[in-house]
A and B are shown apart, each in its own frame.
Chain A
Amino acid sequence: MTERVGVYVCHCGSNIAGTVDVVDVANWAAEKLGRQGVIIAREYKFMCSSLGQELIEKDIKELGLTRVVVAACSPHLHEKTFRTAAKNAGLNPYLVELASIREQVSWVHSDKAVATAKAKAVVSGAVSRVIENAALEEIKVPINPNTLVVGGGIAGIQSALEIANAGFHVYLVEREPSIGGHMAQFDKTFPTLDCSACILTPRMVEAGTHPNITLLTWSEVTNVAGYVGNFHVTIKKKARFINEELCTGCGICQEKCPKKVIDDVYEAGLGYRKAVYTPFAQAVPNFPVMDKENCTYFIKGTCKACEKFCPTGAIDFNQQDEMLHIDVGNIVLATGYDLFDARRVSNYGYGRLPNVFTSLEFERLSNAAGPTSGNIVLRDGKTTPKSVGIIHCVGSRDKNFNNYCSVICCMQGLKFAHLVHERTGATVYNFYIDMRTAYKAYDEFYQRVLEEGTLFVRGKVAEVTNAARNEREKGKLIIQVEDTLAGKQRRIPVDMVILSSGLQPRADAKEVGKMFGISCSMDGWFTEKHPKLDPVATMTEGIYIVGCAQGPKDIPSSVAQGAAASARVLDKILQKEVALEPIKASVNQALCSGCKICNGLCPFNAITFIEDDKVTSINPALCQGCGTCVAACPAGAISGTGFSNEQIIAQIDGLMMRNLEPIVA
């Protein structure tokens, strides 16, 4: 053996040392792996500390190490740290290998003897592998300074504005006719009770008129190819049937359109819109869209009232969907959330009992621009409720529906209590399991609502019924609940029930995640790179997640995330080029039979077939080193640098302790 290998075993405080006998592992490596080339093995409390790194650097210089194995945490965390240390000492960073004895050993085992034996095997595998490693050089590619932001809610708007204000171009794509998102539907925002529209619409206008922002509403991303710095995105711009060049947004078409439909999106099903419409007065852009499904002309072939009255001739029934192809360097996903479908909790009667409302319905009901001009009334459209019950945790914290806490519902419930109290003087009950009012000025708002006289009942509501048992209950909705603090079942008759419905991932979150190459958690939210230290990045470089797409959160947190992702994007843009991992697949064309099996498998479109030579070729700039083609090639003609067959076989041999004395008698 000509290689000189150093092995460094980390205690990670007690994270590893608590379960693995790290001293034993180091001594064993020095003693038993000498034949493999190990000339030094050390253990240290925190290898990632600067002292730990200096230890490695010193050994490389003084002992002339040619390979380094660090037995510590997962390479996701510190691979970069140790590669940099090696580089500083003059060793090619790709000659460093991490053996994960924390995530794969100490955290998943409890028996110290067994864990120690497994740690030795993992170290042995890493030593065998590192000997086969080749010195590699990073590939540098230029970064496209344009950015794509998907989703025009408050998080996406914030993100787009930050980047645009820094002087770079942003494509802001929104699937609805206007940007604004859920925030545009709200009346007031907690805890300050700012008018939602008043604080949102200036941002919308800014985004709509910003010279660096290309606004693409009524549009959806249909395909994403490429990699960080060089994404190629296809966007479907759905036909609006309105010529945007000619339309002035005067609104006559909406006024004249004879077809009224229930507005399931913006009015949450509580109000109506026309077949040609802008969802709300302050919509950005203010061009209407025509809803082909409901338009009388599209259904019956006659009508065209809008066309007749349009003063600028902007109506265009022949407009077609348009496919746009853009190149961007980074992508921010701000796709938001869906409201939990309260009909699923059938004991609360939503959909069956008219005066049970969802939170979003109530937002529209209390909104001055809503279907009742802000009058809080029952579903008959006129009666003001004298008593209102607000139920928390609807669909959240419930194994029958969603396990997680939806974060915003407690504060939302308190906000509703305040609005009902202020506008109707009704008696208000709030039914909660736990009152969660963390964050700045939130608990103060709870105190305020308590002072206003809202009645709080600690108990998850069992059912809402209209089956009265006595005169007092006749004609009312009866909320049946155990008041857990009083220890008694109560039946509380009210006129109106508001369900503080939880948030859930978008129905198409999985497909969207797949399109952008990122994963979803068990609950369906997009997964961040690190839950604490990298909450806006994802495992796919160049793709960021902000707002509720990453998990339930309130407006301040969504805005903060939007801005945070922009800082990350700007950091990338200003570097002008990005260093790509030199982990690439390459074809040994002498072995390639031209079967084309790999051709359709590449998720990055990096594989092309050379017709003249009847062999396959891989574009190293596009290849992401995922290894799919390597595994698929029946001839073994494709090999991945950093994951060569030799490396893998050597690692398996090492793991199996071949050529070694058995470690456990």
Chain B
Amino acid sequence: MPQMTDERVRAGMTREEDLSLLNEVSMKTAGVSHLEMCIQCGTCGGSCPVAADMDHTPRMLFAMLRAGMREEVLRSNTPWLCVSCYHCVVRCPQEVHIADVMYTLKGMAIHAKLYTDSTAPHFSQTFVGMVETFGRGYELGLATRHYLRHFPLRLPGMMPMGFGHDLEGAYGDRAEKNQTHGSIDEDPGPRQGIGVDLMNKYLLYPGCSMDSSAKAYMESLNSIVEPLDLHLEEIEDWNCCGATEYLGINLIPAYSLIARNLALASKQMDSGTRTVVAPCSACYLNLAKADYYMQERPTLGAKVNEALAAGGLEYKAGTLDVRHLIDVLVYDVGLDAIRKAVTHPLSGLKVVPYMGCMLPRPDYQHRWSDHEHPTELDDLLRALGADVIDYPLTTSCCGGHMTQIGPETAFELIHRLVSDADERGAQMMVTVCPMCQMNIDAYQNEMNHFFGTNFHMPILFFTQLMGLAFGKAPNEVGIGVELVSSRNALAHIGVEVPVTQEPAAPRKKDEGLPMPRRWTKHEGKKEAVK
């Protein structure tokens, strides 16, 4: 059939093409897209943190898809700006898989060579190229390459990042290390000792960041496994999950890349656990998503297994439980055990809990207390004795890959997070995600420069604060390598000498109207049963 141009569409020849474009996008999307169910309510466009920069809101894009406006849709910058924060996905009343449709449109735009001048396609391709060559990603190298090519003038501002994050090596060393990582001789092996029949035993998928930008996360994680009697066995020969980049380039290879890790992990199940733990939110989401979609779309599962078979691997979707580190700590280890392990309470440290977006959403397995305001991190930090400030932006986006492909968009998002935390009197932000940590830490200086502000908002991993509360020294938990120093913030609690908490001022007599009770997960379950 001849390609239908927008001119012909406008001339009214829309009927056939109309359906074919919608169907094509639907068929090329992982999972069931539900695109045909859109009622044009605008929940997606209203939820999107970067809607202001989009030429069309997602809702409009879906209307254009129905109208068969192929060229305009594929030239739109909307899919490239999508930060995969999944706010729209969980809020959509019609369950349209919006974020996945965006990945599909990216792939179609690249294929049709119709994307805009955005640097995003190039970034994705660079990332994929790196993963395909080395098996794992390396953010610092990627960022350097990308900035050199597209934003050379911003590079000086990024200098501290290089020194702060990876003092050991340049990109070349790193590549070599990665290349050999998979070989049997030099395989460093699992990080933790393996015991049989251990209660708190998990398969660890560290993810690429834990070795580079989020080293502090890995170090602090290592420091808390012993006090909590946690046993983590690293998945052997794991590879990159593809982050948010690969899914838009080529669907089947992207899912195969993720599923390879699941296949490897399922081989290690005989060591006594079927739970995979990922400390990185993006890795957690990708692993959980692949597992879920391979079940929802059996054809996807079959194709992925065809690819895995080439490497002598197989993964039966649903075999493993994919969970995030904080999920395991809060729900398996439990807040009571954590409270018991605290020797140096963080009393007086004013923190905002920052969960980020990819952790509580889209939540395929219904693991979290809430998609919008989950309280797991709040509860955990309270168990450590910290003063937790209610943070309405706790699941707002840090900008994700926008720091790479559209820094000004990202600065806006970082500014929102940091200024609100500052406004609420936080001494630091606490995160569960390497991407969030890097964006807010490494790009804060640039953001300040861009807005003419002077924020100094350190951001640490929750495991670092756990380590401190368990009595570890700052250098044992990776404190000191962050770019926005946490020294002043931590001085408030003196670390070794806990500050006694001041008695709270007596509350004024409440003359106002009573508030409704807070919604709890418990009530949610009751509701669901009904």
Contacts and interface: CB of A to CB of B under 8 A. Distances in A.
Interface in A366-398: 371-372, 379-381, 393, 397-398
Contacts of A433: 39, 41
Given A380-B512, A460-B46, A347 B39 contact: no
Given A400-B90, A507-B530, A489 B392 contact: no
Interface string A217-241: 0000000000000000000000000
A350 interface: yes
B44 interface: yes
A244 B107 CA distance: 76
B56 A487 contact: yes
A462 B91 contact: yes
Interface stretch (B7-15, B246-254, B271-279, B370-378): B370-378
B366 to A, nearest CB: 12
Given A399-B94, A467-B393, A489-B57, A480 B516 contact: no
A88 B57 CA distance: 68
Interface stretch (A338-346, A537-545, A568-576): A338-346
Nearest to A458: B42
B519 A346 contact: yes
Contact of B524 (A262, A344, A462, A469): A344
Given A371-B513, A379-B513, A484-B59, A344 B45 contact: no
Given A351-B519, A400-B93, A482-B59, A465 B45 contact: no
Q: Which one of B371, B514, B530 has the greatest number of beta carbons of chain A within 10 Å?
A: B514
Contacts of B515: 351, 354, 379
Contacts of B59: 482, 484
Interface residues of A, number: 48
A482 B91 contact: no
Contacts of A465: 392-393
A459 B52 CA distance: 16
B46 A269 contact: no
A294 interface: no
A483 B372 CA distance: 22
Contacts of A459: 41-43, 45-46
A521 interface: no
Contacts of B41: 433, 459-460, 484
Residue from the set A344, A351, A358, A463 with the largest chain B CB neighbour count within 10 Å: A463
A354 B370 CA distance: 19
B513 A489 contact: no
B37 to A, nearest CB: 8
Counting chain A CB atoms within 10 Å of each CB, the highest count among B42, B44, B56, B59 belongs to B42
Given A397-B93, A400-B90, A465-B392, A381 B511 contact: yes
Interface in B486-530: 511-519, 523-524, 527, 530
Interface in B28-82: 39-48, 51-52, 56-57, 59-60
A336 B524 CA distance: 22
Given A487-B57, A489-B51, A461 B46 contact: yes
A489 B45 contact: yes
Contacts of A344: 519, 524, 527
B372 A482 contact: no
Interface in B286-306: none
B6 interface: no
B379 interface: no
A176 to B, nearest CB: 20
A653 to B, nearest CB: 40
Interface in B419-439: 420, 423
B423 to A, nearest CB: 8
Contact of B513 (A270, A399, A466): A270
Interface in A431-458: 433, 458
B416 interface: yes
B476 interface: no
A481 interface: yes
B139 interface: no
Contacts, number: 131
B87 interface: yes
A489 B94 contact: no
B94 to A, nearest CB: 6
User: What does DSSP make chain A's interface, helix, strand, loop or mixed?
Assistant: loop
A352 interface: yes
B95 A399 contact: yes
A459 B56 CA distance: 15
Contacts of A352: 373, 390, 518
B518 A482 contact: no
A637 B39 CA distance: 58
Nearest to A462: B46
Contacts of A399: 93-95
Interface in A40-88: none
B513 A462 contact: no
Given A341-B527, A399-B94, A467-B393, A347 B44 contact: no
Interface residues of B, number: 47
A271 B514 CA distance: 7
A433 B416 CA distance: 29
B370 A462 contact: no
A462 B518 contact: no
Interface string A464-484: 011111000000000011111
Interface in A545-589: none
Contact of B371 (A346, A480, A489): A346
A480 B47 contact: yes
A484 B45 contact: yes
Contacts of A482: 42-46, 51, 57, 59
A489 B518 contact: no
A462 B527 contact: no
A351 B517 contact: yes
A487 B42 CA distance: 9
A510 B530 CA distance: 9
Contacts of B48: 489
A399 B34 CA distance: 12
A347 B372 contact: yes
Interface in A463-520: 463, 465-469, 480-484, 487-489, 507, 510
Interface string A255-280: 00000001000000111100000000
A467 B46 CA distance: 15
A346 B372 contact: yes
Interface in A385-423: 393, 397-400
Nearest to A268: B516
A489 B519 contact: no
A162 B246 CA distance: 69
Contacts of A466: 392
A376 to B, nearest CB: 12
Most B CB within 10 A of own CB, among A344, A347, A352, A354: A347
A467 B530 CA distance: 34
Contacts of B373: 346, 352
A270 B515 CA distance: 8
A467 B52 contact: no
A460 B420 contact: no
B517 A481 contact: no
Contacts of B52: 489
Contacts of B514: 262, 269-270, 272
Contacts of A346: 370-373, 519
A351 B39 CA distance: 28
Contacts of A398: 93
A525 to B, nearest CB: 13
Contacts of B519: 341, 343-344, 346, 351
Sorted from nearest, which 9 A-B pairs have the closest CB atoms?
A462-B46, A482-B45, A482-B42, A343-B519, A398-B93, A459-B42, A460-B41, A462-B47, A489-B51
Given A344-B524, A459-B41, A460-B42, 15 more contacts: A270-B514, A341-B519, A346-B371, A346-B372, A351-B518, A381-B513, A433-B41, A460-B43, A462-B87, A463-B47, A467-B420, A482-B46, A484-B41, A487-B45, A488-B51
6 contacts: A346-B373, A351-B518, A397-B93, A462-B45, A482-B42, A482-B46
